[in-house]
């Protein structure tokens, strides 16, 4: 039973108890006055009977409220340690229509070369329509006070986007773990253990149609959910009209690279073969209110956050030596007032495919030989989005992202994606989301272009 409902029930029981005592006192007073009245006083007897009936009704209402309270308390979701567990869900039907040959039909991320037309069989065409519920979400969260002197919070979230490139998932979707996090929060220190986005790219664009794969993936947004341990320490604060705080962060991440060693293309990930984790660091400055209280998909009402971070990792794809994966990045989220915010990220790095689409989903250029992985790719990328919540229940915005890969060895050399979105919650729990994307990808042979319109219909619980 939620704490709010429990408090209301307790207040109701107390109120009815008070009414019962008032009626009892009034009944006693009437009884005393009735004893001193003449025996033939019909008016006094009628008043006593009326109060007695009302008292019986009040007692019956109290018993009914007690029974309802016991039923709700027994049916409440609780953990083994008797802690209340909050559940959440989003059931979403996405309808997508694409024009042009794109990488992905449900959530396209870049344009692909035109399909060759067979003189006999023809071509598969350059358009697609899809309906899917795989971006539905299920989550749970709980919090506990006074754990090792800190507040403990934990949450977990699933969607149904496993095996994204398989043929059957649209008909038989499989659950996929997105994030699973445990926080220990002290007044100036925070420890996170679980699966989360990279520390240097911890911000995602707002979108109701790009949930399973965030918007601007392969166009400046590094988003992979990676197992990690993260520590945040606030080192300086200044209380003023707009409070300031400076914090330093460090993280140890799973060394994920996507690619494999050339001698074993079905073996362990190249990052795992390096034998060491990846490390990231970040310095952030916050101005104004606590940003942790604002939902990730909500518009920032006031304040700002600016961060600068670094990434360092290793992967082994050929021989016994490892290659260095690195990045420097910056991010910002600023409230402009009147329900308007701007958010974005930018980075420059090398061998970043494992962080979530770096270098347009490429670590290496064209293969030099069967035993060589190709030239390691360096890219410069970023995205920016302007969002507005001009009325309750309606959030809209526009943004663009781009990723430029340096060197002529890359297959995909530049990818630019622009998107406009709107999410409308006319009445709880209803949700309507609309998003349009324009995608342009440059290859050695020229630029390929496509577009995608996505409409989401759902409910949020």
Domain spans of the chain, in order of start:
3-75, 86-460
For 86-460, CATH gives 2.40.160.10
pLDDT tens-digit map of 335-352: 999 999 999 999 999 999
> What average pLDDT is seen over the chain?
85
Does pLDDT of 57 surpass 50?
Answer: yes
Does pLDDT of 32 surpass 70?
Answer: no
pLDDT for the residue numbered 64: 67
pLDDT for the residue numbered 260: 92
136-140, 203-207, 241-245, range with the lowest pLDDT: 241-245
Listed in sequence order, the residues at least 6 apart from 347 whose beta carbon sits closer than 8 Å to its beta carbon are 200, 201, 220, 222, 327, 328, 329, 330, 380, 381, 382
Listed in sequence order, the residues at least 6 apart from 160 whose beta carbon sits closer than 8 Å to its beta carbon are 133, 134, 135, 136, 169, 173, 174, 175, 176
What's this model's pTM, rounded to 2 decimal places?
A: 0.81
pLDDT tens-digit map of 186-240: 999 999 999 999 999 999 999 988 899 999 999 999 999 999 999 999 999 998 8
CB-based contacts of 69-72 (< 8 A; 24+ apart in sequence): 69/1, 69/6, 69/9, 69/13, 72/1, 72/5, 72/9
Query: Average of pLDDT values for 371-386?
Result: 90
pLDDT for the residue numbered 345: 98
pLDDT for the residue numbered 36: 47
Does pLDDT of 379 surpass 60?
Answer: yes
Query: Average of pLDDT values for 22-30?
Result: 49
pLDDT for the residue numbered 47: 58
> Which range among 18-32, 166-180, 349-363 has the greatest average pLDDT?
349-363
pLDDT for the residue numbered 374: 84
CB 85 within 8 A of CB 77: yes
15-29, 257-271, 276-290, 399-413, range with the lowest pLDDT: 15-29
pLDDT for the residue numbered 309: 98
Cα angle 188, 347, 224; round to 5: 70
pLDDT for the residue numbered 115: 72
């Amino acid at each position: 039973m939620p704490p709010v409902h429990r408090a209301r029930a307790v207040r109701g029981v107390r109120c009815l108890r008070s009414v019962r005592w008032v009626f009892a006192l009034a009944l006693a007073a009437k009884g005393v006055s009735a004893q001193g009245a003449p025996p033939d006083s019909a008016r006094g007897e009628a008043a006593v009977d009326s109060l007695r009936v009302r008292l019986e009704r009040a007692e019956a209402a109290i018993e009914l409220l007690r029974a309802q309270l016991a039923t709700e308390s027994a049916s409440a979701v609780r953990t083994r340690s008797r802690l209340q567990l909050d559940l959440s869900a989003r059931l979403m039907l996405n309808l997508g229509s694409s024009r042009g040959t794109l990488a992905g039909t449900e959530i396209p991320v870049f344009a692909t070369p035109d399909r060759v037309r067979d003189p006999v069989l023809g071509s598969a065409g350059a358009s697609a329509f899809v309906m899917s519920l795989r971006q539905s979400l299920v989550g749970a969260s709980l919090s506990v006070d006074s754990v090792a002197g800190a507040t403990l919070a934990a949450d977990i979230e699933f969607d149904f986007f496993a095996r994204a490139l398989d043929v059957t998932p649209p008909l038989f979707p499989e659950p996929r773990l997105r994030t699973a996090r445990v926080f220990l929060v002290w007044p100036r220190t925070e420890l996170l253990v679980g699966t989360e986005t990279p520390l240097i790219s911890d911000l995602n664009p707002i979108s109701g149609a790009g949930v399973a794969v965030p918007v601007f993936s392969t166009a400046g947004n590094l988003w992979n959910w990676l197992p990690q341990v993260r520590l945040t320490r606030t080192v300086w604060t200044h209380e003023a009209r707009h409070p300031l705080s400076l914090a330093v962060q460090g993280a140890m991440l799973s060394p994920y690279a996507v690619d494999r060693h050339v001698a074993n293309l079905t073996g362990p990930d190249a990052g795992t073969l390096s034998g060491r984790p990846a490390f990231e660091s970040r310095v952030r400055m916050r101005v104004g209110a606590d940003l942790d209280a604002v939902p990730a998909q909500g518009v920032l009402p006031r304040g700002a956050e600016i961060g600068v971070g670094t990434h360092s990792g290793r992967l082994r794809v050929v021989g016994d030596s490892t290659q260095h994966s690195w990045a420097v990045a910056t991010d910002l989220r600023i409230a402009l007032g009147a329900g308007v915010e701007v958010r974005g990220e930018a980075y420059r790095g090398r061998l970043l495919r494992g962080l979530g689409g770096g270098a347009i989903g490429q670590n290496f250029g064209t293969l030099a030989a069967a035993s060589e992985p190709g030239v390691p790719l360096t890219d410069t990328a970023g995205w920016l989005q302007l969002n507005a919540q001009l009325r309750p229940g309606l959030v809209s915005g526009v943004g663009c992202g781009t990723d430029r890969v340096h060197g002529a060895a890359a297959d995909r050399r530049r990818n630019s994606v622009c998107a406009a979105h709107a999410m409308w919650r006319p009445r709880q729990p209803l949700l309507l989301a609309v998003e349009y994307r324009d995608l342009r990808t440059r290859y050695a042979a020229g630029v390929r272009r496509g577009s995608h319109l996505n409409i989401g219909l759902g409910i949020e619980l």
